[in-house]
Amino acid sequence: MPKQNWLFLSVFYPQREWWRLLHSGIAPFLRTNNLEAIVHFGRQRGDHLGLSCPPPSAAAGDLLREFERELTGYIQSHPAAIPADLDGTRTNAPAIPADAGDQLFMNFPPNTIYPGLHQFLPSAPEFFRSAPGSLRSSRGDPRIRRQYQAAWCRSTGPLCRVFGEAPFDREDLFSAALYLNLLLLLSDERISRNYCRNYPGRATPSPPMVQKFAGNRSLLYAILDDCRAIMDGRVSEELLPVAEWFDVFRDVRFEDTLVEDILLSTRKQLGLDEEARLLIDHFIYQLLLETIN
């Protein structure tokens, strides 16, 4: 399903208020109108909460346009405070934030919505590319691709329940990605072994990452215990949305390449930078070593 058929919206809103936007703006509208969308988070060009909406039918198209109007109305009714360096009062403010990395252009101001900027759409191209002569003839089947992308839409509900109840920060997003990635790998020992075998840092681990694992060892093993409890069906109320997310993807693990896309896309969906993504790899590798040995 090509990206150009999807609707992508980026709602620029400060991270500290994302939970309110999810709770009071996005989740109720999706739920009431039975609409599907993939929610994603990011900081590129400014703090934003993104939405990827499947190609609408004629009737759903009107709803999606109404959805955009609803979001606009929400942020107009609940405007976030605009930093001084974006409202023109600080004439000596730098055009590019200090933590913007390779970003070339200025951030967009809060309380604005733009279409088409952040096109998050997991597609697992290596899996879905047709492979002539392959025993898995379904690999290039567009129906399988639709099922995969529909699973991502269904994952929005659990994520809204995880992040739509209270303020959260980047550490919370990191922890969620760690839970979701670890659960997926724990569910299949063969894939876990392949993950550890192919982990590029196994021979020469980064000293800072080794130190971070050691410094957070008790917390990381508590997360591992939580994941084992979920696997055993012992789910606390606090972890119920995480278990619901896992249930969404449990049945779409067709093979290793698709699992890899889910792992990487989850980290991208939650807005993790490259350093955080590499750190998750190291943490998971260390935790899995005990589990599968």
Structural contact between residues 38 and 121, judged by C-beta atoms closer than 8 angstroms: yes
Q: Per residue in 96-152, pLDDT tens?
A: 333 444 455 678 888 888 888 888 988 766 555 544 433 344 455 677 777 888 889
CA 183 – CA 188 distance, rounded (Å): 9
Place of tokens 């955080």: 276
Q: What is the pLDDT of residue 90?
A: 35
Task: Quickly name the fold that domain 3-115 has.
Answer: Alpha-Beta Plaits (3.30.70)
Question: Quick one: pLDDT at residue 82?
Answer: 67
List every span in the chain annotated with CATH 3.30.70. 3-115
Q: Which residue has the higher pLDDT, 107 or 276?
A: 276
Query: SS in 3 state form for 160-183?
Result: HHHHCCCCCCHHHHHHHHHHHHHH
pLDDT in tens, 203-236: 787 899 999 999 999 999 999 999 999 999 899 9
Residue 268 has pLDDT above 70, yes or no: yes
Q: State the pLDDT confidence band at 74, using cuts at 50, 70 and 90.
A: confident
Q: What is the pLDDT of residues 19-48, one digit of tens each?
A: 999 999 888 888 887 888 999 999 888 999
Computed over its alpha carbons, how large is the radius of gyration of the chain?
A: 20
Q: How far apart are CA 212 and CA 215, in angstroms?
A: 5
Please, are residues 187 and 253 in contact by the beta-carbon 8 Å criterion? Answer: yes
In this predicted structure, the answer to whether residue 89 has a pLDDT above a threshold of 50 is no
Q: Is pLDDT at 78 greater than 70 in this prediction?
A: yes
Mean pLDDT on 277-282: 93
- Cβ 243 vs Cβ 161: under 8 Å: no
Q: What is the pLDDT of residue 50?
A: 92
Tokens, residue 157: 């509900």
In terms of average pLDDT, the best of 69-78, 96-105, 171-180 is 171-180
Non-local (6+) Cβ contacts of 53 within 8 A are 6, 7, 8, 9, 35, 36, 37, 38, 64, 67
- CA separation, residue 132 to residues 17, 128, 145, 248, 275 (Å): 49, 12, 17, 30, 37
Distances in Å between the Cα of 103 and the Cα atoms of 91, 140, 148, 275 are 20, 35, 31, 16
